[in-house]
Amino acid sequence: MRSIAARRIDRMLSAQPLPLTAVNKISLKYATDNECATYFAKELLPLMAYGNKHIEFNAAAAESGEKQYCSVLLSSGSNVTLNLKLYRYPLQIMQRIVDVAATQEESSN
């Protein structure tokens, strides 16, 4: 599942915090059989939390039949929900969160 580019991005993320000033909370509900979401929850979510002490992070395994989602609460009060079944790679989820945060910051300036 992991490529050389993904490992390179992992190294960059580990070395430098990723500031997400427009995000207040990230809630994740994932199925344990979804490798992409499980990897994101176990490996990438802690990296995002490292440089963002102001963000509240919640991650929990979903019961069978329960929806899988990643909910991003922005500082403007709006909420963006990502359907985790649509993502093939964990870095796509992270990139989408970064894009949503950047769009929020641009619109507030």
The pLDDT tens digits along the chain (109 residues) read: 445 456 656 655 665 666 788 999 999 999 999 999 999 999 999 888 888 899 999 999 999 889 999 999 999 999 999 999 999 999 999 999 988 988 887 777 6
The three-class DSSP label of residue 83 is strand
Instruction: Say if CB 80 and CB 27 are below 8 A apart.
Output: no
- DSSP-derived secondary structure for 7-38: HHHHHHHHHS----TTEEEEEEEE-TT-HHHH
Q: What are φ and ψ of residue 102, in 5° steps?
A: -65, -40
Give, as one character, the DSSP assignment of residue 102: H
Q: How many domains does the chain divide into?
A: 1
pLDDT of the residue at 74:
95
Q: What are φ and ψ of residue 22, in 5° steps?
A: -90, 0
pLDDT of the residue at 1:
46
Any idea what the CATH number is for the domain that residue 70 is in? Answer: 3.40.30.10
What's the domain range around 75?
Answer: 4-108
